[in-house]
Amino acid sequence: MEKRRLALHWKILIGLGLGVVAGVILNTTWGPAAWSRLGVADAKAYLVGTDVDANSAAGVGAWLVKGLINLNKLIGDLFIRVLKFVGVPVVMFALIGAVAGLGDIRKIGRVGGKTVGLFLTTGFLSVVIGVVVSGLIKPGALVSEETRSRLVADRTGETAIGAATTTAHSLTPWKILTEIVPTNPFAALAGAEMLQVVFLSVMVGIALSMLPRDKSETAIRFFDGMFEAVLVIVRMVMVTAPVAVFCLVTPIVAGLGLDVLRALAAYCVTVVLGLAVVLFGLYPMVMLLFTRRGNKVGYRRFFKAMAPAQLLAFSSSSSSATLPVTLSCVRDRLGVSEEIGGFVCTLGTTVNMDGTALYQAVAATFLAQLYGIDLTMADQIALVLTATIIAIGTPGVPGGSIVLLVVVLETIRIPTEGIAIILAVDRLLDMARTVINVSGDGMGAAVVGASENQLLKEDEIGAEAS
């Protein structure tokens, strides 16, 4: 009898749990005193290879610890780099093939309209949920003055704010919409400008769909073949995912520590609660309402299918890097056709940012509460509309929402330097909101697929996909 192998998402979850445990242990037991016992006077200088004289007493033990730290960083960085490496090809090949495969230009317009309309609606509702939850809990009133002053004074935070503010002055919702159209498509591909890559891919796909089939068939088969080739690369890389997730999570937990998390617990709980309402309330409700009778997508089916993508999204904080896995889950585990799944999910990496939109709403209201700023009804309406629109332009990479959060804060006249207060936990919350963004892509694919009769019943999905 063949031994049943542990599913990939369980392996990833185990790696995630071990990473959290290791991070907590390191945070509580490893510090300057531990480095000093190894003969290292300045750990930061030692790790980057500077100030050799100050660390001349470092011995073999310090060398081994440094090697382990660098190995951990290498594995995590390589894993993310490979996923980013396939990010642009996956978007381009999948979207061109999906749009061209839809055939009739009227069908492309119909599917595209459903997708964008669905994502804008759930994005708007996510922002409203964020504002309501934050208004009920009022996390800004629960953070001590001492903690607030310490975090605002953090030099790293101030540097990040300065960079974000400088970038944000050149960003407006109108400019984001204008820059969807690339002036140089090759520069858009080289610079991984995802909105422009999506526009380019959709236009090429539409053009191929309008050509006679005998002229477009070769090109369509090429893009489909390249998409399958990229997915093979992803499957090979995913074998290392459990180890990579451990390496990615451990330094995050070790660096943040429990003190900062406790100081901002109310804010974190508010964001996570809002995200949970979207993930476990809004998305299942939408799927139950809009998937076909007799082929409903319920809790068990949806979360079982999307689990690998959700766990990878949490550890990588990048919906773009997770896209290949998302596409695989939607097609092979959820049962959405390749054309619909490819179109909706690739478009979703730039248009569907429900988790980011909710986060921006909670962050803005949290900072308003901290500074004692009363938001009028007009301010809240402006916040909802701006956060909904601005989330569309958020890059699907770690920390991509910080720059655009500045735009939201300036819209309702909240001091942008307050971002320093939330930077300490932004990475952790970035991981959580990326799960929502990726789950929203799967939800959208299920709903649009059902509306186009391109969603398999659960018992029709192959055993190897489950």
Residue 195, CB-side half-sphere exposure with 13 Å CA sphere: 18
User: Mind listing the pLDDT tens digit for each residue in 114-146?
Assistant: 888 898 899 899 999 998 998 898 887 765 565
* Residues 161, 416: Cα–Cα separation, whole Å: 7
Residue 404, pLDDT score: 62
Buried b (16+ CB within 10 A) or exposed e, 4-43: eeeebbebbbebbebbbebbbebbeeeeeeebeebebbeb
In the chain, what are the domain boundaries?
Answer: 32-85, 104-174+257-456
Residue 466, pLDDT score: 42
Residue 438, pLDDT score: 93
Percent residues over pLDDT 90 in the chain = 10
Residue 451, pLDDT score: 86
Q: Of the ranges 109-123, 179-193, 395-409, which one carries the lowest mean pLDDT score? A: 395-409
Residue 50 has pLDDT above 60, yes or no: no
Q: Of the ranges 91-95, 163-167, 288-292, 408-412, which one carries the lowest mean pLDDT score? A: 163-167
* Residues 6, 4: Cα–Cα separation, whole Å: 7
* Residues 100, 211: Cα–Cα separation, whole Å: 10
User: Mind listing the pLDDT tens digit for each residue in 231-265?
Assistant: 778 778 778 878 887 887 777 677 655 544 555 67
The CATH classification of domain 104-174+257-456, taken from the options 3.50.50.60, 3.30.9.10, 1.10.3860.10, 1.10.260.40: 1.10.3860.10
| Short-list 139, 76, 194, CA closest to 437 | 194
The overall average pLDDT reported for the chain is: 76
Question: Alpha helix (H) ranges present in 264-336?
Answer: 265-277, 283-290, 299-316, 319-328
* Residues 151, 149: Cα–Cα separation, whole Å: 6
User: Mind listing the pLDDT tens digit for each residue in 361-394?
Assistant: 888 888 888 777 777 777 777 778 777 766 665 5
Exposed / middle / buried, residue 170 (Cβ in 10 Å: 0-12, 13-18, 19+): exposed
At residue 283 the predicted structure's pLDDT band, cuts being 50, 70 and 90, is very high
Residue 255, pLDDT score: 66
Residue 167 has pLDDT above 70, yes or no: no
At residue 455 the predicted structure's pLDDT band, cuts being 50, 70 and 90, is confident
Whether the Cβ atoms of residue 137 and residue 406 lie closer than 8 Å to each other: no
Residue 13, pLDDT score: 75
At residue 268 the predicted structure's pLDDT band, cuts being 50, 70 and 90, is confident
Residue 323 has pLDDT above 90, yes or no: no
Residue 176 has pLDDT above 70, yes or no: no
Buried b (16+ CB within 10 A) or exposed e, 332-364: bbbbbbbbbbbbbbbbbbbbbbbbbbbbbbbbb
Q: Return phi, psi of residue 2, to 5°.
A: -70, 135
* Residues 387, 77: Cα–Cα separation, whole Å: 31
Residue whose entry in the numeric block shows the structure tokens 């007009």? 378
3-state secondary structure of 336: strand
Stretch 296-324: mean pLDDT, rounded?
85
Residue 465, CB-side half-sphere exposure with 13 Å CA sphere: 21
413 vs 194, higher pLDDT: 413
Residue 29 has pLDDT above 50, yes or no: yes
Q: Of the ranges 177-186, 220-229, 278-287, 454-463, which one carries the lowest mean pLDDT score? A: 454-463
User: Mind listing the pLDDT tens digit for each residue in 402-438?
Assistant: 556 766 776 677 776 666 567 656 777 888 888 999 9
| Short-list 306, 340, 324, 309, CA closest to 231 | 324
Q: Which helix (H) or strand (E) holds 445?
A: helix 419-451
Measured CA distances, 188 to 33, 53, 180, 191, 350 (Å): 48, 46, 10, 5, 14
Residue 157, pLDDT score: 47
Residue 406, pLDDT score: 66
